[in-house]
Chain A
Amino acid sequence: MPALLEIRNLSKSFGGVAANVQISFDVAEGEILGLLGPNGAGKTSLFNSISGEVTPDSGEILLQGRRISGAGPVACAAAGIARTFQVVRSFDSMTVLENVMVGAFARIASPSAAMAEAAEVIDYCGLVAKIDAPAHGLSPAEKRRLEVARALATKPRLLLLDEMLTGLTPTEAQAGVALVRSVQARGVTVIMVEHVMEVVLPLVSRAVVLNLGRVLTIGTPAEIVRNPDVIRAYLGDRYAPA
């Protein structure tokens, strides 16, 4: 499989604290990649580098061979990267349709075409009943869906989901998993940040585990759960097999 995204020796520190150290991995076209690790492992920081929100101190990020690191969020969005946020950021003075139209306007200039595109994506994400509801009144699970719809409306190649399943009820999480699968079926590559492994491992083809800012291991879900380093990082030395 050709690599859609390549991360090469990426390092980033904030005020002397190293958030990411010498990170390298590839993301294949069409896959769902899990980005795992305990709290403070540097997952969100890496996400912010990929989405252009922060500039790495060293190393580079390539999307289809073109360097995007340091280009800023607007350029990254134009290149085909869309994201959701760990703490939901909906446009609260707008309705659901209007929120998603902001995303659609990334590719479409005409209001009526953007509206049609947004309505289609909303339908696809299962929010059609709330299409004219104000965003501030949505439930947490609906807000997460809204963020996914808004991101998808930009027609991304790569979708970054930041703890999209965290804090949902089991039923809501199941529905979320189904949504991610169907996004992949549309040909969008997905990177998911989660710190709860059980939720995300069944969904991904491969996972990258970060710990203390470094790549701990990369592998298939089966490899990840057997890896003693991963168990140690999550649970502490006591639980690691000798």
Chain B
Amino acid sequence: MANAITIRRRRELLIGAILLAVLAVLPLPLHDVYTRNLIIITLLFAGLAQAWNILGGYCGQISLGHSLYFGIGCYVSTLMFVNGHIPPPIGMIAGGLAAAAVALLVGWPCFRLSGHYYAIATVVIQEIAYLLALNWDWIGGASGVYIPFRGESWLNLQFRTDKLPWHYVVLAFVALTWLTAWTLEGSRIGFAWRAVKDDVIAARSLGVRIFPSKMAAAGVSGFLTGVGGAIFAQYVGYIDPDSILSGPLAILIALPAVLGGVGTLWGPLIGAAVLIPLKELSSSYLGSSGSGFDLMLYGLLIMAVALLRPQGLGSLLKRGADAGAA
């Protein structure tokens, strides 16, 4: 029996495949380094937002401290590479696992908190980690860690001459996060997450185990965020607490999902495609020299989208698609 859900999920997979193909050829005609960098950063944040979306969107636990998991992914993979000569593709997995472990550790006490109490606890834990990292010399302290160049290769995940390999690394990351979300959305745990988000009491009465469901979301979300962090560290070649473990970064990880539509497959992608270029362009054209005008624009955009499209920008497309189908 072909019902609406099955048809929708097949269509999503098809659109996803087409999008992947388009994104794979997108950078080929664009040789400009600036543009390629912009696309890479946008894709990275699309993936990170999708990772956040699993906990914050589907499961409804609004984490405002996801830079913690990002930072752990960065530190673990970087320190393994710098001090232990372990190739980043392995460090990336280790970083993801470490981030997932910390996400579970954070979730253990925090998932007993509800609503704003949970959100603020996540900010505070991230902030503690930030302050500790600033003061911990073994991991570079406030001055950070430079990643030495050890030769261009996929094993070292270092490419100097061309940004194109990076495009595919990050695209693979986006595909991984998207496929994870797509798979889980249609599975038992995905339904449990959405039930927890909508109504905890009703969910429990139907046998949904609340705490394990939240922990599962935290684990998956933490792992993917950590992997994203490891990729970022290798891409920029330098990490310090301000760039990888800060409060503003935590917000930047969550925002694309919120702008595009929380708890949806396309929301994080749409949100990142709108937000990241806008933010990058406004700070480079309007001057990141501290005029503040870019921040004003950024703030206005967040307020406007939150108030005008509370379901996110993605809902505009959906309405268009429905109208087109009718």
* A218 interface hit (Cβ, 8 Å): no
Complex contact A85–B202 (CB within 8 A): yes
* A10 interface hit (Cβ, 8 Å): no
* B217 interface hit (Cβ, 8 Å): no
* A94 interface hit (Cβ, 8 Å): yes
Residues in A with CB closer than 8 Å to B163 are none
Q: Is the interface on chain B under 10, 10 to 19, 20 to 34, or 35 or more residues?
A: 20 to 34
Complex contact B187–A111 (CB within 8 A): yes
Q: Given A74-B207, A77-B205, A77-B206, decide whether A93 and B263 contact each other with a Cβ distance below 8 A.
A: yes
Output the least CB separation between A133 and chain B (Å). 10
B8's closest neighbor in chain A, by CB? A132
**Selected interface stretch from A98-106, A180-188, A196-204, A207-215:** A98-106
Partner of B198, one of A72, A85, A91: A91
* A119 interface hit (Cβ, 8 Å): yes
> Which of B3, B6, B191, B203: most chain A CB closer than 10 A?
B191
Partner of A102, one of B3, B5, B203, B209: B203
State the interface size on chain A (CB cutoff 8 A).
35
Complex contact A132–B191 (CB within 8 A): no
How many angstroms between the C-alpha atoms of A82 and B199 in the bound complex?
Answer: 16
Complex contact B1–A109 (CB within 8 A): no
Q: Given A91-B195, A102-B208, A105-B188, decide whether A97 and B203 contact each other with a Cβ distance below 8 A.
A: no
* B326 interface hit (Cβ, 8 Å): no
> Which of B5, B195, B204, B205: most chain A CB closer than 10 A?
B205
Interface residues of B in 185-220 (CB under 8 A from A): 186-188, 191-192, 194-195, 197-199, 201-210
Output the least CB separation between B54 and chain A (Å). 15
Interface residues of A in 65-80 (CB under 8 A from B): 72-74, 77-78
Complex contact B198–A83 (CB within 8 A): no
Output the least CB separation between B210 and chain A (Å). 8
Complex contact A115–B5 (CB within 8 A): yes
Complex contact B188–A114 (CB within 8 A): yes
Complex contact A83–B205 (CB within 8 A): yes
Output the least CB separation between A184 and chain B (Å). 21
Complex contact A154–B206 (CB within 8 A): yes
Interface residues of B in 23-74 (CB under 8 A from A): none
Residues in B with CB closer than 8 Å to A195 are none
Complex contact B188–A111 (CB within 8 A): yes
Seed contacts A83-B205, A93-B197, A131-B4; 9 additional CB < 8 Å A-B pairs:
A74-B208, A74-B209, A78-B207, A89-B201, A91-B203, A94-B194, A105-B208, A106-B207, A132-B5
Q: Report, nearest first, the 10 A-B pairs whose CB atoms are least far apart.
A: A77-B207, A106-B207, A89-B202, A91-B198, A132-B4, A73-B204, A102-B195, A105-B188, A89-B199, A103-B206
Selected A-B contacts with CB under 8 Å, 29 pairs = A53-B204, A53-B205, A73-B204, A74-B204, A74-B207, A77-B204, A77-B206, A82-B205, A83-B205, A85-B202, A89-B199, A89-B202, A90-B198, A90-B199, A91-B195, A93-B194, A93-B198, A95-B4, A97-B4, A102-B203, A102-B206, A103-B206, A105-B188, A105-B208, A106-B208, A111-B187, A114-B188, A119-B3, A132-B4
